[in-house]
């Protein structure tokens, strides 16, 4: 059976920019893309599963050990369904975990179980983004084939106007659509 509709797994991590996930979901759905959301434990502090579920029209997944809707293990079955994994916003924490090969939550396990493209949209304080370790992790992931969009210079939660602001929703969706072809 061939699927005609593309599926994006959207990983939402613990950043003030988590609200942008709502915009990304809405924009992808307008493009007839199915969106499955994974909300990290830290992201719960910024946005609710109900908002994301309402917009995506799919159950929001938060824990690898929730009872699956299907027989298959959730991390591998979701990875198999993903035409693209988009992590937006992506914190320094999740970038470091992926670069270090750590898969201790549902999002990182799905990423490591997937053979498809992964697009990462960083969002963090400028000092965190410019940190040598974060930059080394980004370069390590780029050299392994991971794609990045942004961040851009903009107003940050700390009040500074600097690099670390999540890319514009339209740019993230445009890059996602390129990778879905």
Catalytic residues: 158
Q: How far apart (Å, rounded) are the C-alpha atoms in residues 160 and 104?
A: 32
Nearest-CA neighbor of 160 among 111, 125, 118, 112?
A: 125
Is the four-CA dihedral 154, 17, 92, 34 of positive or negative sign?
A: negative
Residue written as tokens 């939660």? Answer: 157
CA separation, residue 77 to residues 56, 61, 74, 82, 130 (Å): 18, 13, 5, 9, 36
Q: How far apart (Å, rounded) are the C-alpha atoms in residues 137 and 85?
A: 18
Q: Assess contact for 154 and 161: CB atoms under 8 A.
A: yes
Q: How far apart (Å, rounded) are the C-alpha atoms in residues 93 and 134?
A: 9
């Amino acid at each position: 059976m061939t699927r005609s509709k593309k599926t994006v797994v959207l990983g939402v991590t613990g950043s003030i920019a988590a609200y942008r996930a709502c915009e990304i979901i809405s924009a992808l759905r307008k493009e007839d893309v199915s969106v499955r959301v994974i909300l990290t434990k830290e992201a719960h502090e910024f946005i609710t599963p109900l908002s994301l579920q309402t917009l995506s029209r799919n159950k929001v997944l938060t824990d690898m050990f929730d009872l699956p809707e299907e027989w298959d293990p959730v991390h591998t079955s979701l990875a198999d369904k993903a035409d693209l994994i988009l992590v937006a916003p992506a914190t320094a924490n999740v970038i470091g975990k992926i670069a270090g090969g750590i898969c201790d939550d549902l999002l990182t396990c799905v990423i490591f179980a997937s053979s498809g493209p992964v697009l990462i949209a960083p969002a963090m304080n400028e000092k965190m983004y410019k940190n040598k370790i974060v930059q080394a992790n980004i370069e390590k992931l780029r050299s392994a084939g991971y794609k990045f969009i942004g961040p851009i210079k903009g107003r940050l939660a700390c009040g500074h106007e600097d690099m670390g602001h999540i890319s514009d929703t339209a740019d993230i969706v445009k890059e996602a659509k390129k990778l879905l072809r």
